[in-house]
Structure 1
């Protein structure tokens, strides 16, 4: 049964503990994220629009509508890059509704997309002209539902930002066509699910925007089809078990207790399942999600939050299979991890999900973008000889617009509210927020900090709510010894890895000071992670660090051995956009004993090697200077 259209950012899902607030309610005004968001809008989005024009992605829609008689150009799922770019533009327009350049680019894309749609609602430019008879015949490989999902997500974001139904109407016609096409045979429909998950979370977003139950029911159908013979993701007979694991199709979703196969697909699948749980309260979904989350974070995730160990299949490996130089750790997978952790955070209000989301934002995701906003990493290794460099675009360009849409929507990840007049602060950056309260009215907060370089965070109440409000502040797991102080009174200790609840009869001008200690942490890996055995990774606050050759006089940093001396910190305003670097002492491994061959029949002996001053920089900033070796895991003396 359809209900009236609603603004997606104002609805609470029935089984969520928390409710997100609109990205438009939060203004980030700091020295870390704010410049990146501005560059995303002024540099990244226009350059990606140009790339989509120059590589034929937009012309594919003009071909489908009959405006141009040209061959299809590029990979069969290229439509999805245009949709993700449009979603990023929608989020940016929500913050800057008068940006004429953004309005013009978005209008071009919406016009070409709408004109390319068939009368029955079908839309996919690869199949629009001379492959009409092949539509929906290969769900396993051809990404039709995946592309449709990205269009639907873009439409929901555009509706949220502009309240225009122009693109939403296109998405509804396509979604209705999908709902009429797929389902049980007993209803005269086709059985099947998509080889690349995305449609599930997209239809959940459309349900949230429209209130039409058929879209949520379709999410349940697609999720339930996985792991069944009707899924259309298996071969007959199966050639090898990996075929079905690659698609997360080896067992029904509710029986899936580990993260497997293509890492991006797994993250999108879990995001869709979390959305379904939030609307239905199906305990079996939540149990599966929690089991998969534990498997991922405890055994199959890089120290940076990167996901996907194998180049073959862009896939998760086995437990503790986390090679450094051959890490795939696709940028899209990190973004998918942020999306999934965000959903789990809204469901549970548990700080562990916010901790993981922050880890992936600052490290595994952010490393995918250059400091100038114009080039990208697809893979994110944790060790390299200097040959891996960012590129301005890719033939398979899934990562660039994915980064753009996350940065454009970032302000929406900072706060949530609950049904008990609670305000939840998940991430920290200078700025302001006007947060609606369930009991009526709102509370306005100003946040002052230079996070992530320092853990001193100050909140000021700029207007008071009509009803009382509880401020819940996330205390990261690494912030042992954190304290909270209200209006200059004696600070109280708060538990790390949890939310600290601050109850107070707020008046305008009240202040809350949160102090998060930020010692340098020397992390040690499980010894079953072979590439990290006997090594350490340096971290401070939410940031993981690495060594780069440019800071070490031509030394291959993979030969550096850290001493046990204390590690200092040093903020360098002019370096890499302004970063805190770590300073330590070490030695360069002496390899002279192996000059005659790769193996010795004795211990090498000799000195510990040349002494060297060691400098570590944030991992997200590597490869923005001249090429050279890099490593996250460093040998220990």
Structure 2
């Protein structure tokens, strides 16, 4: 069984996930999973090959001549691809993908054998071998090792084959041997190894991996990663008062710290996690769930520094936001973390990939004049395989369990077989979510026992919903974002849930000065965009909409899945009187408006 994070034995996990194999998607996200299999993974592999990333392994073992190609962290893209491809095998066997994974594993094994000590990094071979471990701040050795470990765990869980897992155990043990002492001067320049080592601890039971991660976190602020804010080394972790520095690094670090709490219950870590989560959601997150506003340093800015046109909002940061909020949910059981995860997933992760699965955004601005387009690949290609590993593993996020509960975390047409006590509970979801308000669940089981089924009520419903069990209307008040359905579920039960998707005009905190007198349009979990390509008769930058909601819904047949389109009446202003003018006195320029749809 394949768990994204196996918290089945984590002492502080309030909620535990369901294995990916037990949940078969059939709706909105399944289309993206099919794209991964039919298009994205194959194209990504081709780019890994044509960009020289795979050749770096051949060069490292001497089967090919030449020097290392590309960025020093390029190995990590291959590992993320293996992880994504492994997850894809859990719901659809594919001999070509399997063959490609095995060929890559053979190369990785050969690199490790040549190192003789368990070390794997193709940049630090040949003349550069003597430089390994000399610059942990900048050179991403621990980052690459983390992605290798995650790939090895995923491949083992999906296939049962331990070849790559054995490699990553040797990699982890080599790291422990290289940095053996409690006072050893080590922390990660780019966090990632933290969550990987914790998952390796969960897979093996070896507490040495857990204790090493604790040391990595405790060593922050001591100057081992340069002592600067960019590397989140400017203060000790427990003294952090706000999100700062490189957004992806910070979010990955918080994910690793949440993993440590799940294993140890260290309340001082939890206090930091909760404090920084409030900072994110109340001061430093875009309405899309995007994170990191600055191009400079790919960094979090100051509080309320969230420009739309200059939004950096890296796709990997949105993925980091998903990872962190997933752990926060597992440790607290509160649906507010799933609300942020959902917002980030639908609006900042999925914006990072085109509808045909061939192109990607690295940066996700909320406003643009038409110059920002998705690309097939990047020189720094962290985002494409990162999106792939999240999409191919998304089945593992839909449900959770406790000792006496089954929790429905997200809504997606799907079929799940959930182990519970001495039996199984089948849940079939029928829905066109996220475009449809209606979710129908058919719950079937032979278990003759009492259990609770919890249904998430997203924050965007503002507490409004309609619930029926076998046609009988229910009145239940949500607690921590869930409604609890209690009883004996033996046989077959039909549950109908309506989550009203009112069109909401969202406004921003007045301290977010750029958004003064602006609104964003939201329906359900989705943030909408007025695009020039859909509105060719006026400049959307001049559009003004009335506060009275005169908006209408329709389905579009121009895009796959028949998404809901929002239309309404507004006013667009012409700019004739501003020709060759940048400034003028208030009232002297009479902008003329025209009614537009």
TM, length-normalised to structure 1: 0.90
Q: Displacement, 1:495?
A: 3.3
For 2:511, the equivalent position in structure 1 comes to: 528
For 2:142, the equivalent position in structure 1 comes to: 145
Match among 539, 547, 568 for residue 522 of structure 2: 539
Match among 551, 554, 562 for residue 570 of structure 1: 554
Determine if the alignment matches structure 1 residue 369 to structure 2 residue 369: no
For 2:241, the equivalent position in structure 1 comes to: 257
Give the Cα–Cα distance (whole angstroms) in 2 for the partners of residues 201 and 9 of structure 1. 12
Q: Displacement, 1:503?
A: 0.5
Determine if the alignment matches structure 1 residue 77 to structure 2 residue 73: yes
For 1:552, the equivalent position in structure 2 comes to: 535
Question: What's the secondary structure of 2:452's corresponding residue?
Answer: strand
For 1:233, the equivalent position in structure 2 comes to: 226
What is the 5 A alignment of 1:119-518?
A: 119-184=116-181, 190-229=184-223, 231-234=224-227, 244-420=228-404, 422-437=405-420, 439-479=421-461, 480-495=463-478, 498-518=481-501
Give the Cα–Cα distance (whole angstroms) in 2 for the partners of residues 458 and 518 of structure 1. 16
Are the equivalent residues in 2 in contact too, given 1:331–1:380 (CA < 8 A)? yes
Moved more, 40-49 or 481-490: 481-490
Give the Cα–Cα distance (whole angstroms) in 2 for the partners of residues 300 and 489 of structure 1. 43
Q: Displacement, 1:314?
A: 0.5
Are the equivalent residues in 2 in contact too, given 1:481–1:494 (CA < 8 A)? no
Q: Structure 1 pair 348/497, CA: closer, same or farther in 2 (3 Å)?
A: closer
Are the equivalent residues in 2 in contact too, given 1:183–1:221 (CA < 8 A)? no
Moved more, 559-568 or 387-396: 559-568
Determine if the alignment matches structure 1 residue 104 to structure 2 residue 99: yes
Are the equivalent residues in 1 in contact too, given 2:255–2:327 (CA < 8 A)? yes
For each residue in 1:274-309, what CA deviation from the matched residue of structure 2 results, as whole angstroms up to 9, or x when unmatched?
000000000001110010111001100000000110
For each residue in 1:292-336, what CA deviation from the matched residue of structure 2 results, as whole angstroms up to 9, or x when unmatched?
111001100000000110000001000000011110000000001
Q: Displacement, 1:199?
A: 0.6
Moved more, 584-593 or 108-117: 584-593
Give the Cα–Cα distance (whole angstroms) in 1 for the partners of residues 108 and 563 of structure 2. 42
Give the Cα–Cα distance (whole angstroms) in 2 for the partners of residues 473 and 355 of structure 1. 13
For each residue in 1:368-422, what CA deviation from the matched residue of structure 2 results, as whole angstroms up to 9, or x when unmatched?
00000000000000000000000000000000000000000010010010122x0
Report the aligned-residue RMSD.
1.7
Equivalent residue pairs, number = 592
Q: Structure 1 pair 580/90, CA: closer, same or farther in 2 (3 Å)?
A: same
Name structure 2 gaps, 5 residues minimum: none
